[in-house]
Amino acid sequence: MNVLVESSNPQIFERMRAQKISFAGFPTPIQRMPRLSELLAGPNLFIKRDDMTDLAFGGNKARKLEFIFADAKNKGADVIISTGAVQSNCATMVASASRRLGMKPVLVLVGEEPDVPDGNLLLDKLLSAEIHFIDGYGPHVEGFMNHLANEFREKGHKPYVIPVGASVPSTVPGYALAMEELVNQFRGVIDYVVCACGTGGTQAGLVFGAKLLDAKTEVLGASVFASKADASKTVAGLGNGAAELFGVDVSVVPGEVAVFDDYIKQGYGVLNTEVTDALKLMAATEGIFLDPVYTGKAMVMLIDLVKKGYFKKDDNIVFFHTGGLPEIFLYRNKLGKA
Ligand SMILES: *Cc1c(COP(=O)(O)O)cnc(C)c1O
């Protein structure tokens, strides 16, 4: 690979690359958003198309799963057990990755089984994942995954458990490498990167990557469920965990993590008119679809910050499209009437 970046930590990116397998089709495209930039009369807006990663219907989990599945493969795993909400993007991508590596996917999905499978759950069924439904988040979910793992072990299998959102220090390099990829593609100053923040691994990786590259880029996260205090702690913890894992002298303090909780509004996954408007604006100006749960809220944040004058007119801003598109169809009743 042709690395153009002058990095203060040149070998660490090589070391991170050595820890992963490749199945997700990188680099993803970077595109200008000229009509959206003009309409908002704001800075120069770009989009990094991580909705086009080559796993299931695309999304950010592909970059993390390259690390997890490298580890699973090394350990000889033949059964992959993971969890998430019934409509989890991560769970579907885990199931897809499992199939691509000849492993059996087992999903513990939090919530009730709907009468008609739709969105990601429909994809899970097409992937013939073994699905268990469970009530509520909490330690009992991990307990149940471990119980399933023991059952598989007793039958002579080698199970491997992936935690929620695949956000652990070992997967943080996924988005550090994405930052490196972006900087190499962009070849100019990127003032800000904007992303949605759920379990924190994406923002942690981008922040970690920016630090390793000595890039002046500020990473702005739109939290979709956690308070600013909790999200910044999670992001810093993951970044520091990765720094420790790779033995680099980089630290992230919660106070410097720029994450906003102002756009969660009515709650995780709850569609409001700002999100609907953002989805429609993006489609009408750039022909690109956003999802209602993550990227829609992150776009509401970007639009709001532009309108509030947060950025300078000549700033370059890259919006990370992190995927989630199978969820659009679940909101047909509200989106279809807008
Ligand atoms: C999981 C997810 C995110 C959030 O990523 P984290 O690393 O969990 O913060 C953002 N967008 C989409 C579409 C996702 O599925």
Report pLDDT digits (tens) over 279-330: 999 999 999 999 999 999 999 999 999 999 999 999 999 999 999 999 999 9
**Catalytic one of 37, 82, 88, 98:** 88
Q: Is the pLDDT of residue 8 over 80?
A: no
Is position 82 annotated as part of the catalytic site?
A: no
Report whether residue 159 contacts ligand 1, using a CB cutoff of 6 Å: no
| Distance in Å from the first CA to the final CA of the chain | 46
Cβ(94)–Cβ(81) under 8 Å?
Answer: no
Can you tell me the mean pLDDT for 217-235?
98
Which of 28, 48, 61 most suits a substitution to test ligand 1, by most atoms within 8 Å of the C-beta? Answer: 61
Dihedral angle, C-alpha 186, 189, 194, 199, nearest 10 °: 80
Q: Could you give the 3-state DSSP secondary structure of residue 241?
A: helix
As to burial, measured by CB atoms within 10 angstroms (0-12 exposed, 13-18 middle, 19+ buried), residue 99 is middle
pLDDT the model gives residue 42: 87
Q: Is the pLDDT of residue 98 over 50?
A: yes
Please, where are the H alpha helices in 75-127? 89-100, 119-126
Tokens matching residue 238 = 């993951």
pLDDT the model gives residue 315: 98
pLDDT the model gives residue 300: 98
CA of 96 to the centre of ligand 1 (A): 17
Quick: pLDDT tens for 128-157.
Answer: 999 999 999 899 999 999 999 999 999 999
Which of 52, 63, 89, 203 most suits a substitution to test ligand 1, by most atoms within 8 Å of the C-beta? Answer: 89
Q: What secondary structure does DSSP assign to 165-229, as a single string?
A: GG-SGGGTHHHHHHHHHHHHHH-S---EEEEEESSSHHHHHHHHHHHHHT--PEEEEEESSS-HH
Report whether residue 13 contacts ligand 1, using a CB cutoff of 6 Å: no
Report whether residue 86 contacts ligand 1, using a CB cutoff of 6 Å: no
> Nearest to residue 260, comparing CAs of 208, 213, 297?
297
Q: Is the pLDDT of residue 7 over 90?
A: no
Quick: pLDDT tens for 12-31.
Answer: 999 999 999 998 788 999 99
Name the average pLDDT for the chain. 95
pLDDT the model gives residue 65: 97
Quick: pLDDT tens for 232-276.
Answer: 999 999 999 999 999 999 999 999 999 999 999 999 999 999 999
Percentage of residues of the chain with pLDDT beyond 70: 97
Residue nearest to ligand 1 atom 3, measured at CA? 198
Residue type for 64, please? Answer: K
Cα–Cα distance measured from residue 301 to residue 334, given in angstroms and rounded to the nearest whole number: 21
pLDDT the model gives residue 24: 76
CA of 153 to the centre of ligand 1 (A): 31
pLDDT the model gives residue 146: 97
CA of 63 to the centre of ligand 1 (A): 11
- Give strand pairing partners of 84: 109
> Nearest to residue 72, comparing CAs of 90, 97, 49, 36?
97
Question: What's the predicted TM-score (pTM) here?
Answer: 0.96
Report whether residue 62 contacts ligand 1, using a CB cutoff of 6 Å: no
- Give strand pairing partners of 132: 108
Q: Is the pLDDT of residue 3 over 60?
A: no
Question: CA triplet 241, 243, 249: central angle to 5 degrees?
Answer: 140
Residue 22, number of CB atoms within 10 A of its CB: 10
Can you tell me the mean pLDDT for 157-172?
95
